[in-house]
Amino acid sequence: KINEHLYKLVRMKILGICGPAASGKSTLAQNLCDKYSDACAMIGLDNYFKDFSEYYANQKQWPNLDEPCAIDFDLLIQHLSSLKENKTIESPVYDLKTFSRSCDVLVIKPKPVLILEGFLIFQNPVLLNMIDTKIYINTDMVQCLIRRLKRGMQNYQDAATLIEYFE
């Protein structure tokens, strides 16, 4: 195991994993973190969605989470900067059923490698500049749709709405 004191001497590297919904970003990121847990931490972009609970309650429809304006990039960039300064952060935990952040947080300690995964991580120029190594997962869209339908059905999402997402 790498000594925790050595982490402070190593400049944290950010590995960005991007790709379409259900392309395997989270699975790859989690597998890497599991294999290199001593030296690796992970942040999922989905936890940085803005609060849309009021919109959802008023509109009775899902907010569009597929646009960069749905992401709190300022908070994410602030958190990444803090990690690069060897500071521990409390990442939000987003609840897709209420379209808001839960009361829970994920405590993330600085490690030599941070994996940032999400479908919009390459859309923000400041964030893009912070990412040292960029990976784009190019998965067949039919396979993505099948995976997304399976995941959506587990979360009681409407199949018609999920299919519209891919059109």
DSSP class of 162: H
Per residue in 114-150, pLDDT (tens digit) is: 999 999 999 999 999 999 999 999 988 778 677 777 7
CA-angle at 165, arms to 32 and 150, nearest 5°: 55
Nearest by Cα to 123 from 21, 26, 18:
18
Each residue's pLDDT tens digit, 10-33:
689 999 999 988 788 889 999 999
Q: Hunting for tokens 């973190």 — which residue is that?
A: 33
Four-residue CA torsion sign, 105, 13, 34, 2: negative
Residue 160 has pLDDT above 70, yes or no: no
Q: Which amino acid is at 9?
A: L
Query: What is the torsional sign of CA 124, 130, 87, 33?
Result: positive
User: pTM of the prediction?
Assistant: 0.81
| pLDDT computed for residue 42 by the predictor | 97
For 84-98, the pLDDT digits (tens) are: 999 999 999 998 778
46 pLDDT band (50/70/90 cuts)? very high
H or E element in which residue 128 lies: helix 125-130
Percentage of the chain with pLDDT > 90?
Answer: 54
Burial class (CB in 10 A: 0-12, 13-18, 19+), 95: middle
Q: How far is CA 41 from each of CA 30, 60, 123, rounded to the nearest angstrom?
A: 9, 36, 22
What does the mean pLDDT of the chain come to?
84
pLDDT category at 3 given cuts 50, 70, 90 is: low
Looking at residue 126, its pLDDT comes to: 97
